[in-house]
Amino acid sequence: MTPPAVPSRHWVIGDVHGCADALQRLVDLLPARDRLVLCGDVINRGPQIERSMELAWGLVCCGRAVWLQGNHEASLVQALKQQGPGARETLAACETYRQLGDRRCRLWLERLEALPLIYRRAGWVATHAGFDPDSWEPSLTVRQAFWDTYDGRFGDVIVAHTPGKAVRRKKRGQIVLIDTGACYGGRLSAYCPETGASRSVAGHRPWFMDSVPQPTAPPPVSPSRLAAPA
C-alpha cells in the first residue's frame, strides 16, 4: 500500500546497523499508511548489511520511507571517493565494505552520497546526531555539546547515534534519543513525534566483540542535501 502524500503520522527509526531481520519486523509492526524516517546508520556493524540497505532503499522507492544520512554512511562515501593508503585502510576496516566488496559498495555510492541530513515537519525535525551549537547546521557526530546548548529553535529534535536502553528525552524533553542498540543485543525502536508513542523489536544477538562506537568525522555537506522532501 502506498502511503498518502502527506501522512498524518511518522515513525522515526533508530540505528539499524545491519540488523535487517529487526528492521523488517519493526516495519511490519507499524501502520502501513504512516511514513517512516530511517534516522541514519543503516549500514555497518551487523551481519545483514546489504539486506538492510536493500530493504531501506525499497521503502524509499515505494514512497513509504525517508532514509537520512548517518556518520557511517558519510564515512563510507568519503572513503570510496578518496584515493591513497588512508582510504584503503578506512575501507579495510569498514564492515559494509567487507560484506559487500568494492564493486557492490560503489554501486551504492551515488545513493548514499545523496541521502538528506534532516527531515522536518511542523514542530519537530529528525536528524542523525543533532546540530552544531556554533553554526546550528546538522552534525553527524555531535552529542553532549548539542544536548547542553539546544535552545528549542527547531522544536523537538529526534536523533539516533547514541545507544541507550530505551527511547529517552533530554533538554526539557525537546531532544528525543531513539537509538536503543539493536546491533549490540538491544532493541530497534521507532518513535512517533505526533503522538509520543514508541514501538520496538528485539535486535540482533551480538555476533562480535566491540565497544560502543565513537564518532567519526564526516565529509563537508552540500547545502542542497540539508533537508529531505516532505
For the chain, the distance separating the N- and C-terminal CA atoms, rounded to the nearest angstrom, is: 18
Tell me if 42 sits within 8 A of 53, measured CB to CB.
Answer: yes
pLDDT of residue 5: 60
pLDDT of residue 209: 42
Q: What is the mean pLDDT of residues 62-88?
A: 93
Residue 27 has pLDDT above 50, yes or no: yes
Q: What's the pLDDT band for 87 if we cut at 50, 70, 90?
A: confident
25-34, 77-86, 148-157, 181-190: least confidently modelled range: 77-86
64-68, 117-121, 202-206: least confidently modelled range: 202-206
Q: What is the pTM assigned to this prediction?
A: 0.88
Q: What's the pLDDT band for 55 if we cut at 50, 70, 90?
A: very high
Residues 99-113 pLDDT 10s: 999 999 999 999 999
Q: At what angle do helices 95-113 and 71-81 cross, to 10 degrees?
A: 90
Q: What's the pLDDT band for 171 if we cut at 50, 70, 90?
A: confident
Tell me if 48 sits within 8 A of 22, measured CB to CB.
Answer: no
C-alpha cell at position 196: 509520543
Tell me if 46 sits within 8 A of 16, measured CB to CB.
Answer: yes
Phi-psi region of 49 (alpha: psi -120 to 50; beta: other; left: phi over 0): alpha
Q: Assign 3-class secondary structure to 98-110.
A: HHHHHHHHHHHHH
Distances (CA, A) of 31 to 40, 190, 199: 21, 12, 11
**CATH number of the 10-209 domain:** 3.60.21.10
CA–CA dist 38, 190 (Å, integer): 9
Query: Pseudo-torsion of CA 161, 162, 163, 164, nearest 10°?
Result: -140
Distances (CA, A) of 92 to 11, 19, 102: 34, 21, 10
Residue type, 229: P
Residues 198-216 pLDDT 10s: 999 999 876 544 444 444 4
